[in-house]
């Protein structure tokens, strides 16, 4: 480590004229957990629980779920308080998401570390909508127009914790025989499945362009227990 540190300092000094480094704890098998926020122009901020986005490929999210299987009620409140503090520190207004890396190894006290804040609604916001029964897109627009946030933290958190379990799977145009590279062409047949929320604008015979993101839609399942979702 000392030799690697010295090498990095010299590289930074040569490239930027400043050899100072920022050291971060190495987390070898963390979970990717994020907290949904809503904040109005009047200083009122609430969090709407967490989402777990650990299932990824090439650092791209594939499956998102809420609540996180690694988060209990105590940790949920700690994550939420930290996310709200971030939003308040910068006077944030609107819908946003604070992302954390969670070190939740067995037989150890869980610890989480701030990663970034996305100042928008995430692709995976429907899993939160399913649990708290709120339209987050509508709230984003209402907050942007200066409307006060009427949601109260205790009631939102109660709804989240009693709202069951939700999982979202992203539908992507990829070639599994070519290491899941993005795939263009024609969608030969499409029929949305029943019993699920499907966020997509797809029709049979639709051309799939190579000029846009490979994600075509999202499937969201919601049930009282996570085990019931597997049968959807």
Contact by Cβ (8 Å): 63, 169: yes
pLDDT score for 109: 85
What is the residue-level pLDDT of the chain in tens, covering all 232 positions?
A: 899 999 999 999 999 999 999 988 889 889 999 999 999 999 999 999 999 999 999 889 999 999 999 999 999 999 999 999 999 999 999 999 999 999 988 778 889 999 999 999 999 999 999 999 999 999 999 999 999 999 999 999 999 999 999 999 999 999 999 999 999 999 999 999 899 999 999 999 999 998 888 999 999 999 999 889 877 7
Query: What's the pLDDT at 58?
Result: 87
Q: Read off the pLDDT of residues 93-120 as tens digits, 9 standing for 90 and up.
A: 999 999 999 998 877 888 999 999 999 9
Determine if the peptide bond prior to 84 is cis (ω within 30°).
no
**Cα distance between residue 78 and residue 74, in whole Å:** 6
Q: Which helix (H) or strand (E) holds 197?
A: strand 197-200
User: Order of strands across the sheet with 197-200?
Assistant: 111-118, 94-103, 31-39, 45-57, 60-66, 165-172, 215-223, 197-200
**Which pLDDT value is given to residue 47?**
99
Superfamily of domain 30-172+214-229: ATP-grasp fold, B domain (3.30.470.20)
pLDDT at 108: 81
Q: Which of 47, 48, 65 is nearest to 56 (CA)?
A: 65
Q: Where are the domains of the chain?
A: 30-172+214-229
Instruction: Output the pTM of the full model.
Output: 0.89
Q: What is the pLDDT of residue 69?
A: 95
For residue 83, the tally of other CB atoms under 10 A from its CB is 25
């Amino acid at each position: 480590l000392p030799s690697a540190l010295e090498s990095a300092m010299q590289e930074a000094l040569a490239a930027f004229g400043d050899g100072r480094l920022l050291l971060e704890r190495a987390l070898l098998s963390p979970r990717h957990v994020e907290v949904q926020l809503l904040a109005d122009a009047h200083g009122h901020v609430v969090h709407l629980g967490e989402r777990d986005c650990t299932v990824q490929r090439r650092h791209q999210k594939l499956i998102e779920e809420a609540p996180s299987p690694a988060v209990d009620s105590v940790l949920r409140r700690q994550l939420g308080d930290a996310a709200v503090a971030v939003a308040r520190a910068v006077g944030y207004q609107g819908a946003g998401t604070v992302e954390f890396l969670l070190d939740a190894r067995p037989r150890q006290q869980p610890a989480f570390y701030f990663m970034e804040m996305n100042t928008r609604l995430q692709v995976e916001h429907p899993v939160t909508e399913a649990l708290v029964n709120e339209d987050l897109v509508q709230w984003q627009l209402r907050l942007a127009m200066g409307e006060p946030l009427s949601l109260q933290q205790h009631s939102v958190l109660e709804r989240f914790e009693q709202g069951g379990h939700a999982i979202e799977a992203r539908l992507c145009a990829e070639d599994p025989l070519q290491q899941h590279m993005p795939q263009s062409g024609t969608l030969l047949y499409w029929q949305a499945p029943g019993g699920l929320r499907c966020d997509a604008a797809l029709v049979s015979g639709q051309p799939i362009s190579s000029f846009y993101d490979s994600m075509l839609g999202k499937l969201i399942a919601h049930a009282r227990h996570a085990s019931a979702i597997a049968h959807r």
